[in-house]
Amino acid sequence: MSADPANRPMTEDTPPGFEWRLRGRAWVLGHDIQHQGGVVPAWIVTGRHMDPADIIPHLFEETDPGFHERCRPGDIIVAGRSFGMGPKMNGYIGMQALGLGLVCESMPFLGYRGAIGAGLRVLTDCQGATEECATGDELEVDFASGLFINHTRGSHREYPPMAESLQAVVALGGNTGWLRQWWAARNP
């Protein structure tokens, strides 16, 4: 897949209006931010809260109080190693609903699977990403190609893109959206 902005890949399933490229501010987090506690409070996980309206007011509550009020759609969370340990997907549902993107140095596979399933624009295995930007930097990230641009620093990196077959899931808003479209296509 090319990282050339002129050759942006578009999967055939990408619905109109869906943007693979986000431009917004960086929110840089450290390493080992646990899903339960770090991303959302434990009671959100144990209570199986899956409604974005329930999750959003508590997103990163214990890591960065008030985050949900300060972030804007298009902003990008840049996390270090082992982000979101714990297989639940509540936090990713909240991030997706807020229109955020996630770039991290590593995350457990089930966390990655949960993020894709929630329809979150996510890149993992982005080595050194937390050193490529600081909180507040103006970033532009193409989640389909892996192109990572820091406009504040005038730098760019090319990270591993999201596998093409997973792009359809994300573009349709996650597992449920994908499944709805799959069924509708077979039962017009």
DSSP string, the chain: ----GGG----TTPPTT--SEEEEEEEE--S---TBTTTB-HHHHHTT---HHHHGGGTTTTTSTTHHHH--TT-EEEE-SSTT-SS--HHHHHHHHTT-EEEES---HHHHHHHHHTT-EEE---TTGGGS--TT-EEEEETTTTEEEETTTTEEEE-PPPPHHHHHHHHTTSHHHHHHHHHHHH--
Could you give the string, one character per residue 145-174, with x where binding to another protein holds by CB under 8 A and - elsewhere?
------------------xxxx--x-----
Site for another protein in 112-131 (CB under 8 A): 113, 117
Could you give the string, one character per residue 82-111, with x where binding to another protein holds by CB under 8 A and - elsewhere?
-----x--------------------xxx-
Query: According to the binding rule CB under 8 A, does residue 42 interact with another protein?
Result: no
- Site size for another protein (CB under 8 A): 19
The least distance separating another protein from the CB of residue 181, rounded to whole angstroms, comes to 10
Q: Which residues bind another protein (CB under 8 A)?
A: 87, 108-110, 113, 117, 163-166, 169, 175-176, 178-180, 182-183, 187
